[in-house]
Amino acid sequence: MSSLNPTLVADGVWRLSANAGQDILFEGLWPLPHGVSMNSFLVKGRECALIDGVCGWDGVPQTLLAQLERMGVRLQDIRYVVLNHLEPDHTGWLEPFARLHPDFTLCASARGLGMADAFYGLAQERRAVGTGDHLDLGGGKVLEFHEIPNVHWPETIATWEPGTGTLFSCDAFGSFGAIGEAAYDDQLSEPELALFEEESLRYFSNILGAFSSSVERALRALKALRPRIVAPAHGPVWRRDPGRIQSWYERYCAYGRGPAEPEITVIWGSMYGMTERAVRSVLEGIAAEGVRAHVFRVPQSHVSPILAAAWRSTGIAIGAPVYEYRLFPPVAAVLDELARKKVVRKKVLAFGSFGWLAGGGGKELAEIVERYRLGWELLPPVEFPGAPREEAQARLREAGRGLAREVRAASADSGSTRAQPRQVSPS
């Protein structure tokens, strides 16, 4: 964990932050090739409120304490700690913090306060806050609260400071990617912003995708506030163009309803190279229609970037040999993860090699689609015994073309004008 200098967000609003690096899996699961930041905010009226915190990974609470010290804020000046969301990536520092400075009031939703008990057993004075409540810090600084349940947990709220128009949105509008000394969109170059666009989609699909409809409801409610500054708990603070991250998130929610971009995510695995040869033919067909493909081999690729690519794609092509009368296991495992994250309403082509009996893979795929109610439209599968001969190659190319045409037509029908697609790295 690395610590940064505190920076001024707006009049009386400060940003404190810590980065976690590549050595950590977020949620014990998601790789962080570019790290992740955890942002905490200090609002100073006559009294001070600290909004959200950092995780309990090493160096806590020193990370925050050192930054407060650099700002000249004494612990006893912190009268309120606002917890928008109780997940330990924002609250892990609380216990050691409370040992050093026990005299503060904990503000969270009623459900959040219950979780604070369950996780940390704190004895502080507490105040349950919800939509319509406010907290007057004096000196013209008032905090207002908005419940945004299931963004990402059920207790989540957002905090709004109307004086500066700053929205402390916690996980909403968050992004993977560590923050250097450039913490604001106005300090980031276009290539850096492009990386955060990619990392915000990966964050959204990995962390929030399963709650996409709740996120969409929250986006509408928060947009009505017309924030001038969007200050999420992960990633950059958006103050030159707060609409940018909002429009990205709106687009990610729209992908969740489908159809998404006219793109195809190809997920494949192969033991002896038979299905691998088929992948090439399917890709030729897709390319012949001018449709972009994101290609991932499993189990070599982690599911995290696969989820991001699948989330933005209208089509999915699944290449898997038959294995013990079912799908090749690493392919089945990835499909199960996509299903749990509610990657729904896709156009799907399955293909692959078998040794002695076709149909096992297709049967299991249909089971997964049914079990999770994925609403996937399954195109006729292409199966072939052993190696794909010229006849099978022709069918595979044609199936790739067919999927690409369907994907293009569905995306065009959806009528949305979306941002230029950006590169999502294949495995």
Helix, strand and coil percent figures for the chain, each rounded to 5: 40, 25, 35
Between 231 and 270, how does the x/- string for binding to ligand FMN read (CB under 6 A)?
---------------------------------------x
Q: How many residues at the interface with Fe ion, by CB under 5 A?
A: 4
List the beta bridge partners of residue 327.
Answer: 322
> CB of 262 within 8 A of CB of 415?
no
Taking the complex as a whole, the smallest distance from the CB of residue 274 to ligand FMN amounts, in Å, to 3
Q: Integer distance in angstroms from the first to the last C-alpha of the chain?
A: 27
Minimum distance from CB of 251 to Fe ion (Å)?
Answer: 21
Between 46 and 363, CB nearer to ligand FMN: 363
**Cβ–Cβ < 8 Å for 382, 285:** no
Instruction: For Fe ion, give the closer residue by CB, 87 or 364.
Output: 87
Specify which residues 108 forms β-bridges with.
128
Of 102, 355, 375, 380, the residue at the interface with ligand FMN (CB under 6 A) is 355
CA separation, residue 47 to residues 74, 128, 166, 207, 311 (Å): 12, 19, 18, 34, 43
Task: Restricting to residues 85-104, name those near Fe ion by CB under 5 A.
Answer: 87, 89
Name residue 2's beta-bridge partners: 19
Nearer to ligand FMN, 28 or 356 (CB): 356
Query: Does residue 261 contact residue 308 with C-beta atoms inside 8 Å?
Result: no
The site string for Fe ion over 152-171 (x = CB under 5 A, - otherwise) reads x------------------x
Long-range contacts of 117-125 (CB under 8 A, 24+ apart): 119/86, 119/88, 119/91, 120/91, 120/94, 120/95, 122/94, 122/95, 122/98, 124/81, 124/98
Q: Which does 272 bind (CB under 5 to 8 A by kind): ligand FMN, Fe ion, none?
A: ligand FMN
Encoded one letter per residue, x for contact with ligand FMN by CB under 6 A and - for no contact, window 15-34 reads --------------------
* Nearest-angstrom CA–CA distance, 380 and 99: 62
Q: Considering CB distances under 5 to 8 angstroms, the limit depending on partner class, which of ligand FMN, Fe ion, none binds residue 72?
A: none
Quick one: 105 or 150, whose CB is closer to Fe ion? 150
State which of positions 136-155 bind Fe ion (CB under 5 A): 152
Q: Which is nearer to Fe ion, 53 or 269 (CB)?
A: 53
CA 38 to CA 179: how far, in whole Å? 9
Q: Report residue 127 as tokens.
A: 């105040």
Residues in the chain: 427
152, interface contact from Fe ion, ligand FMN, none, CB < 5-8 Å by kind: Fe ion
Q: Which of 23, 181, 324, 391 binds ligand FMN (CB under 6 A)?
A: 324
Please give the Cα distance from 71 to 74 (Å, whole number).
Answer: 9
φ, ψ at 69 (rounded to 5°):
-60, -45
Given a contact cutoff of 8 angstroms between Cβ atoms, the answer to whether 382 and 268 are in contact is: no
Whichever of 103 and 272 has its CB closer to ligand FMN, that residue is: 272
- In the bound state with ligand FMN, the residue whose beta carbon lies nearer, of 313 and 353, is 353
Contact residue for ligand FMN among 386, 394, 412, 425 (CB under 6 A): 386
Q: Which is nearer to Fe ion, 89 or 197 (CB)?
A: 89
Residue 407 has, within 13 A of its CA and on its CB side, a CA count of 33
Other beta carbons within 10 Å of 59:
15
Residue with tokens 């990370």: 63
What residue 299 binds from Fe ion, ligand FMN, none (CB within 5 to 8 A, per partner kind)?
none
- The residues in 275-314 that bind ligand FMN, with binding defined as CB under 6 A, are 275-276
171 binds, options Fe ion, ligand FMN, none, Cβ within 5 to 8 A by partner type: Fe ion
Three-state DSSP at 400 gives helix
**Contact residue for ligand FMN among 360, 362, 381, 400 (CB under 6 A):** 360
The sign of the dihedral angle between the CA atoms of 29, 15, 17, 244 is positive
Please state the closest distance from residue 230 (CB atom) to Fe ion, in A. 15
Task: Between 170 and 316, name the residue whose CB sits nearer to Fe ion.
Answer: 170
Contact footprint for ligand FMN (CB under 6 A): 270-276, 321-325, 353-357, 360, 386
